[in-house]
Every structure is written in structure tokens, then in C-alpha cells.
Amino acid sequence: EGRRVSPPPGVSPSHDGASLDASGELLRATWGWEKQDSTGFVGDQRRQDPAKGFVPMSLEAHGLSLGWQEVFELVLRSGERVLSRNCSLASRTSLQGVEGLRKVTLVNGEMVTLSCPKGLEVQWSAALLRLGTGAEVIRTRLLYYSSQPPQPEAADAAQEVAGITLWDLEASRVACGLVPGETGEAAGAVQQRSADNCFRAGGEVDGSPLINIGRGLWLAMEHPRAAHGLRNNGTSLVARLWGTAPSTAYFASLGAAAPLSQGSFAEAMPLLRRQFQTYLRLIRASAPRQHLHYASWYDLRRHPCVDSSALGLPRCTAAKTFNEEQSMQRLAEVHSQLAARGVSLDGMLLDDGWDDAGMPWQADALNFPRGLAPLSAAAVEKGTTLGVWLSPWGGFGEGGKRRVRLGASRGFEAYEGDWHTLRLSGPRCYAWFRNASRQLLLGSGVRFFKFDGVGAGLGKPGAGDFGEDVDKLLQLTAELREDALAADNLASSSGRRPSSELFVSAATGSWPSPFWLTSVDSVWRGGPDLGRKGVGSERQQWITFRDAMVYESVVQRAPLFPLSGLSLGGIVWSGAEEPGVYLNSYGLEDFVDEVMSFFMSGASQQELQVQPELLAPAHWDALASAVNVSRQNRELLLDSHWIGGDPAKGDAYGYASYACPPCAGLLSWRNPLAETRSVEFTLRSALALPQSWPGGAVGGRWRMQPIWAVPSSIEESLLPAVRGLDSPTAEAEAVTSMPAPPDRALPLPEAVKADAGASTHAQSSWEAVLLDQPLVLQLKGLELRAFKVESLSP
């Protein structure tokens, strides 16, 4: 049904056709009307008809005209187009400037309501925002609906809209090297220009913004399915979305970073990434946060296995029975072990197998006879929350087939043929899935949902032919957040403690568009759950495989996606089912490497897929140490980015992150080969720190300390050098000979150090490393090193 959104209270709409100028220091946009006619007088006042022809007048970034051609476009199923210039003004409301709101300032803007052809009304708004980092963003919003209530046996006008365009720029002014989004015939029509003055694809997956690296610009429709590219004739550069829905708000943005006044072109991309991700954090569904939770999949399974063994085993002999008693015991054990070490547990996830075989998405009556509420209450008592796994497809293996059969018997829509899954976009299927999810949230206190199985599946760049299903999942997450907020407000007003904020994970079927994070909190890294690559123990091969999937699926395909928004699979330490076969190596040193490498990635969804009985005190100590490092540096880890090369090819690689003020960073390097190798880098390159970013000034001095104790001393592993500097100075030369101060590394437990052979060498810290000073790190075979970096400059 169509609905109208009222202007902000206390603001009177106007109907005049004056243009509006939204100007900042970096961006400028003006829009207005082609004409406004007068039709005589009322008393002594001239009466005016509504302004007609809503058009863009200018759009500039850093003084460069971007050739804005149309404010918006609605494409009907018939192929007809309704343009903004075809619409007349119904009302307009000024958006007043507001400072200090969530580290962003609203400079100005306005909201207009338009009467358009084909029985449509459109509400459009634009706001000029200034971020705390100095970047500016023009953010637009569009919502359309029918101008008249639906009539019996009459087509609803809004339902005839097939897609929308929210940016339309003149390609000859701004495009470079883009593959046309809709035909392959127009690439030659685009004039090639220097890379510092054109927009190119900012990723290989749907929902990747267009970027102009040299000028520090991004342009996007903020939806994971959005397409960005050239229109058929190659004259327009557009951001558009097909399969839209009436009365749904759609957003788009043009962002500009401060000009790159110093530094090289190679520094421009890190600056753009950091500015874009700063903006992304403002528009996310919820503030980014770490979520440490026990997950049941590699520990508790339905008995007999039936659908619970990916190995095809008739019995899950190594896994515990998935029931209330075992779940309570696991919750108590993991919580107590971490609490004894000063670490709180954020959640407990009941993975596949918790629901009733005869009534999907309701607790199994035999294994959970009291439902999930008692388990949820036990979690709340421990300061944690309960989560559940759900699959819009119905699931995987025999369990998924069973749910599809049961759903079909109840009239729920499903896909036929090879792709035999439930169809979430079907009205009956969606109502059932939504009601089950709401009952879990409101009736059982669930505050963590893992949605696994939607869209086109693993490895795909987008939703493919299943866009309606993806959009329904996005709609469901928004509705669940509203329900959770309402429930928490009610609890607060009643004097009860509100639950934790909802956490939502999109697993199989998601892809690394940054705009998934406007609906969910984490996205799957891509690839199978488990695998092995490279050399070393099976555990070391698993670490290489996990990180190779991140590099292949995310780093290479989606450079603007924040790695902190990923689900990597977490810590897998289990002898049950798949891990017992694929990862049959349980040395303590391997455990430490897996834990260190995982938490240095900055991944916000921190899964503990463990069997507690396999963890000795030394394991829990190492885990608690890594969690504490992660939490102490949570703001730094929001900037997590890739350093090095491809793990699958044996390249040295790792993660780094940076924030300022206070100016500090983290970095880790891992050698996936069995042979010792050297890695040469500078702190500037590893931290992705342009000269124009706070802390990036040439000549700054930095302290670099190991985070965990390691076998090698500084003299054996890290060799500062002055070669390669443009102007070696006495200050730089003094760095290599400066005596090392006492060890400040965060030590691992004694048992871990002894097992790893790390207790025989004192650790040193490096008190005066220059930002541009080449450093050579010696890495033994399969060695992982992690460092904390802090600026010493005032």
C-alpha cells in the first residue's frame, strides 16, 4: 500500500519554484524547476500554479562538473520512463543544518513531494553532510507510491514500476574504462581519460560503488543489488536498481574526500577507502561491534545424524546430542572459562539442528521440551544473548529437503527443478518465515540471527535471478530490528533490563557489497566452511585456506568492503564430524596461530566453534589474551585492511589497521610457506597512511612493539634500514642502533610460550621507527608475527 511521509514537525512546506543550492567546501549541487506559471491574483497576491519540471542544475566535486542529467527516473514494466522533469511540485520542506549528530553535520538540504505521470507520487530528498574527517556527502532518498488508493480490479500504479535510477551523469565528462552494465556495445563510445579524472568500477560484485580515485570521489546507490555502469547508448553513467518496491525508501550518495594535497597517487585509494568506510559506519543498520559467541555446529548435532553429518555418517558419534541439557552445559562451561579470565561472552548460537523435524523453525519438542525461553533466560543471567540459525532456503542436505517438503505441503512457495529451495519472496513463505523469526525474537528472547542460504548461493557476484528473495531478507531484518527496539523500549518503560542490540549475520548467498551492512552486521567471507591449502599441518593449511578465501572473494573483488564486517568461520577446535576429518591436528602452537591470526583480522563476528573438553587451561588463556587484545583495540580494528599478497600462492600476507587520534595501528604478517623468508615494508604502506591523513606527516617517529611473545629476538627478525628513503638523515640512521627498552609485549601464558619454544628469548620494542623507513621482517616457515604501532610525534 502507498503511504505518504509527513515533513518534520514544526516545519511548514512551501510550494515556490525557487532553486536550492546545497554547497559545501568539496561538493556543490543545485536543483530546481523548469517553469512556474502565474494564473492571476487572489486579492492582492499573485496566485501561482505548482512548479513543473523537477530538474538538476549543477553537480560539482572539487570544482569539476559531473554533468548531472536527471534527478531520478522510474522505469515501468511497459518500458516507459517517468523522469523527474515530468513531475510537478506538491510540497517542499527545507532541511535545517544540524551539527554534531553522530560525528556528522547536516549542512542543508530539502525534501520535496512530487506529482508524477502514470498515477505516481514521489518523495525525494537530498542532504549535504560533512563528516568529522572532512569528507562531504550528498545523500539522496527516494520513495514512490500510487497517488490514489488502490481500486478493486484496477492495477496499482506503483506496482508497475520495475526499477529506478538515482544517479544519471554525462558519461563523456566522467566515465573511464567502465564495462557497460546493460549491453556490451557502448564501451568504445567512452573517451579514455587519465585515471585521476574519471569514475571506474569500485569492485566486481553488485552493489560496488563507482570510484574516482585521484579526486577522492565515490558514487553509489546504497543497495547490495544496485548496478552501476553505462546506459545502453553509452552516454550516461547511472546508478540503478531493478525489482524495486513501492513505499520503500532507496538511498544514493556522492562522496568527496579532501583533496590529496601531498603524497602519491598510490596513496589516494587508501584515503578514499577510509573516507568511504567512515561514511558507511554512519549509515549501517547498527553501530559496528564485536560479537564473541559460542556456536554449536561443530559440537552439538541432532541424533541420529540424518541431516547433521556432511560426511554421510549414520551416527554423529563425536558430537554431543543437541538438546537443552547439553546446550545449558556448553553455555555454562564456555562462559565460566572466559569469565575466569576476565572475558565476557556476547552470545550463544544454536546452529542447524535445533528445530523440530516436523515443524521447522520451532524448537524440537523432544530435545527442547520447554522451548528456547529457558536457555535464553540462562544466557541473560550470564550477561549474554541467545542466537539461532535459520535458512530462507530451508537448509542444506537432508534437513533442507525435509523442510522444503514440509513447506510445500503447507502451500509455501518453492523453486522447482535442480534449485529446489523455498522461495522467501512468496507471500505465504515470507509470512511463515517472518512469523517464526518474530516469535523467536519476542517469545524466546533471541537477539542474534544467522540467515544461511539465500539468493544465488556461494561465490556469486550478486543475487542473480533471486533478487526478490534477497530484498525480502533485507525487509525482514529491518522489521526484526524495529520489533527488537519496540520490545526493548517496552522493557525499559516497565523497569526491566532491555536486551542486547540485535545482531544479524548473512551467510551463504551474500556477497561483499558494502551496502549489505546497511541491513546486516556481518557477511560471509565466501567459499566452503572448511578447507585446506598450502603446506604444514592440517591446521596450518586451514588457516591458509581461510585467509585465501578472504583474499580471493573479498579483497580482490570488493576493495571498499570493510574486512571487520566479515564472518570468517571463527575458531574451529573440534573433533566432531568435519573438523575431526579435515583438521585432525591439535597442537597448542597451531591453536595459538589460529587464534592470533583470526583476532588480528578484525572480524566482528567472532565465532567459537569449539568443543570445550578439547581446550586445556593454556588454550583458554591464549584465547582470552587474544580476545582482550581485540577488545582493547576495537576502534583500530574497524579499519582492518589487507597487506601483502595471495596466501594461495605462498605470498606473505596479513592484516593491518589504523586510527587517529590517538595515532596508532596494528599489523600482522604470516608466512604460509615452510621456508624462512623476508618481508620488506614501511609502516606507511602497511598502515595505508597517506601524508594528508592525521599522523601521516613525513618524518614522524613511531614505536613498534610485538603484541605476543615470539621465538625470535628483534636482532634476528626485524631489521630496520634506511635504504630507499629520499633523504636519509642522521635521525634515521640512529634508529638502527638505538638500544632496545624493556619488553612491553603482551605475553602469552607460560604454558603456551613453553610449547611454542618462545620462552627462551626476551622480546624488544622498537622505539623510533620512521614512517617511510624500509623494514625487513624475517619470518620462519609458517610463522605469524603481530605488532602494535604508536606515534611518538606530538
Dihedral sign for Cα 406, 408, 409, 410, please: positive
What local confidence, expressed as pLDDT, does residue 261 receive? Answer: 55
Classify residue 2: in a domain, yes or no.
Answer: no
pTM of the full structure: 0.90
Nearest 5°: the CA angle 272, 277, 281 is 155
Name the phi and psi angles at 323, rounded to 5.
Answer: -145, 180
What local confidence, expressed as pLDDT, does residue 349 receive? Answer: 99
Same-domain status, 86 and 160: yes
Same-domain status, 227 and 319: no
Classify residue 575: in a domain, yes or no.
Answer: no
Kind and range of the H or E run holding 483? helix 467-493
CATH number, residue 651: 2.60.40
Same-domain status, 369 and 271: no
Q: Which residues of the chain have pLDDT under 50?
A: 1-15, 38-44, 179-192, 710-764
pLDDT in tens, 353-389: 999 988 899 999 999 999 999 999 999 999 999 999 9
Same-domain status, 139 and 241: yes
Q: How many CA atoms lie within 13 A of 687 on its CB side?
A: 29
What local confidence, expressed as pLDDT, does residue 577 receive? Answer: 83
Same-domain status, 278 and 402: no
Classify residue 574: in a domain, yes or no.
Answer: no
Classify residue 8: in a domain, yes or no.
Answer: no
Same-domain status, 184 and 52: yes
Same-domain status, 370 and 479: yes
Among the listed residues 551, 782, 531, the one whose alpha carbon sits nearest the alpha carbon of residue 646: 551
Domain end, chosen from 487, 512, 537, is at 512
Amino acid at 175: A
Same-domain status, 329 and 261: no
Q: How many domains does the chain have?
A: 3
What local confidence, expressed as pLDDT, does residue 13 receive? Answer: 43
CA–CA gap between residue 653 and residue 671 (Å, rounded)? 7
Domain end, chosen from 488, 512, 536, is at 512
Classify residue 53: in a domain, yes or no.
Answer: yes
Classify residue 127: in a domain, yes or no.
Answer: yes
Classify residue 763: in a domain, yes or no.
Answer: yes
- DSSP one-letter code for 199: B
Among the listed residues 789, 793, 493, the one whose alpha carbon sits nearest the alpha carbon of residue 666: 789
Give the orientation angle of helix 617-632 with respect to helix 588-600, to 10 degrees: 10
What local confidence, expressed as pLDDT, does residue 578 receive? Answer: 87
CA–CA gap between residue 616 and residue 442 (Å, rounded)? 38
Same-domain status, 253 and 329: no
Domain with 78 in it: 20-283
- The residues with which 573 forms a beta bridge, in sequence order, are 610
Kind and range of the H or E run holding 405? helix 397-409
Cα–Cα separations (whole angstroms), residue 339 to 346, 363, 616 = 11, 29, 15
Domain end, chosen from 480, 512, 544, is at 512
The two counts, helices (H) then strands (E), for the chain are 16, 42
List, as one string, the DSSP characters of 276-299: HHHHHHHHSSS----EEEEE-TTT
Name the phi and psi angles at 318, rounded to 5.
Answer: -90, -10
pLDDT in tens, 118-175: 999 999 999 999 999 999 999 999 999 999 887 766 678 999 999 999 999 999 888 8
Same-domain status, 248 and 393: no
CA–CA gap between residue 401 and residue 194 (Å, rounded)? 54
Same-domain status, 243 and 323: no
Classify residue 754: in a domain, yes or no.
Answer: yes
What local confidence, expressed as pLDDT, does residue 317 receive? Answer: 67
Same-domain status, 80 and 191: yes
CA–CA gap between residue 179 and residue 185 (Å, rounded)? 9
